[in-house]
Amino acid sequence: MSDKRIGIIMHGVTGRMGMNQHLIRSILAIREQGGVTLKNGTRLMPDPLLVGRNAAKVEELARKHGVQRWTTDLAAALRGPDEIFFDAASTQLRPKLLKRAIAAGKHIYCEKPVSTTLAEAKDLYAAAKKARVKHGVVQDKLWLPGLMKLNKLREQGFFGRILAVRGEFGYWVFEGDAHHSQPPAQRPSWNYRQQEGGGIILDMLCHWRYVLDNLFGEVQAVSCLGATHIPYRWDENGKKYKATADDAAYATFRLAGGVIAHFNSSWAVRVRRDDLLTIHVDGTEGSAVAGLRRCYTQSYAETPKPVWNPDIPQPINFFENWTEVPDEGYDNAFKVQWELFLKHIVGEGPFRWGLLEGAKGVQLAELGLKSWRQKKWLDVPKLKS
């Protein structure tokens, strides 16, 4: 069995998501397992080149994880022979970075949102199409065990006709005021500055677009209300700043086939549910509730018959009569999509989660923000490929 090297310029991997999910749990995990095995038996071995502005941080990351190659010279990296450019840095910088990589003839893989505006996202897709480079956008939640179980239930017809989908996402992100003994914030301060590409609507409606489109029906219309519940926060240097971006979103979607979906997304909510994300699906023949990993079902036959009576303690334990869907040996969601993309680069299998799909996410976020401003429902036009 032979090895085939594939070089990946990895930009933005000193950040939490880029380092943990993409470098350590995806690319390095693929290397540790011996690469990605192709149909002819060849092992495709990713060879990362870490790129960042802070030399000390990049060098330390490379040393800690045994990565041989790192640099602070992005221009030189783009001139080199590596086939793929990956970006997980800030959303505002992404379009310009991707354009440079496309011009250098690199295949593109990136985090979402791909940009802060639909116009930029469509421009990126057109540029990649014109340059004939392959491209992919991270849509990791499609490979989460909980959502894969939901998808399998749907394919098996468990739900009957799906009526509605309800999503609850979020957790309390601490304000970071060390002077009052608050813990450090779990998210970077730019997330709460609109002028720096922050906001939960731009962040999360990109996710809900691909989740809804792929699992329950194409999104056709949106009504969204945003809020900035926490007006002031403290940045990484302990300096107080005004939050100018939304930290909560309450969005309703109309899907193809008549399905109604509603997602609450908040960084100002305390969790009392099974997971940081839960999705509840109701159908004529059964319902299911999934978190990131676990999923529970209740069929029509298992459905209890409650009677409204506020004068007595509730006699029904509504957590009973639910059946857990068994695991089937799922891998890390980010790693699974990376493996599919790497195979696609060398001509083995299609990859439909490209820049056009990324643009659809930005489109929905942009319409969500517009819906909030205009206080009205908005249709979601189809994007041309």
Q: Measure the CA dihedral 341/98/18/212, to 10°.
A: -60
Angle at 68 between CA 64 and CA 70, to 5 degrees: 85
Residue 227's SS3 state is strand
Is the pLDDT at 21 greater than 80, yes or no?
yes
Residues 341, 338: Cα–Cα separation, whole Å: 5
What confidence category does residue 219 fall into, taking pLDDT thresholds of 50, 70 and 90? Answer: very high
* Structure-token pair, residue 63: 């040393």
What pLDDT digit, counting tens, does each position of 322-339 carry?
999 999 999 999 999 999
Is the pLDDT at 1 greater than 80, yes or no?
no
Q: What is the 3-state secondary structure (H, E, C) of 237-294?
A: CCCEEECCCCCEEEEEEEEHHHCEEEEEEECCCCCCCCCCEEEEEEECCEEEEECCCC
* Structure-token pair, residue 190: 């730019």
Which amino acid, one-letter code, is at 135? H
Residue 127's SS3 state is helix
What pLDDT digit, counting tens, does each position of 269-299 carry?
999 999 999 999 999 999 999 999 999 999 9
What confidence category does residue 204 fall into, taking pLDDT thresholds of 50, 70 and 90? Answer: very high
Enumerate residues 6+ apart whose C-beta is below 8 A from 325: 149, 152, 153, 288, 294, 295, 296, 297
What confidence category does residue 382 fall into, taking pLDDT thresholds of 50, 70 and 90? Answer: very high
How much is the mean pLDDT over the chain?
96
Helix (H) or strand (E) holding 4: strand 3-11
244 vs 1: which has the higher pLDDT: 244
Q: What is the pLDDT of residue 100?
A: 98
Tell me the average pLDDT across 12-33. 96
Enumerate residues 6+ apart whose C-beta is below 8 A from 179: 238
Is the pLDDT at 99 greater than 80, yes or no?
yes
Distances (CA, A) of 284 to 161, 321, 359: 5, 17, 33
Distances (CA, A) of 99 to 11, 12, 94: 14, 16, 8
* Structure-token pair, residue 210: 């691909």
Q: What is the pLDDT of residue 385?
A: 86
Which amino acid, one-letter code, is at 255? L
Q: Determine if the peptide bond prior to 113 is cis (ω within 30°).
A: yes
Which amino acid, one-letter code, is at 261? A
CATH 3.40.50.720 fits 3-140+334-353, yes or no: yes
Is the pLDDT at 90 greater than 90, yes or no?
no
Q: What is the pLDDT of residue 2?
A: 81
| 8 A C-beta contact, residue 137 and residue 110 | yes
- pTM (2 d.p.): 0.94
Tell me the average pLDDT across 92-108. 97
Residues 137, 351: Cα–Cα separation, whole Å: 10
12: left (phi over 0), alpha (psi -120 to 50) or beta: left
What confidence category does residue 120 fall into, taking pLDDT thresholds of 50, 70 and 90? Answer: very high
CATH superfamily of 142-331+362-379: Dihydrodipicolinate Reductase; domain 2 (3.30.360.10)
Domains of the chain by residue range: 3-140+334-353, 142-331+362-379
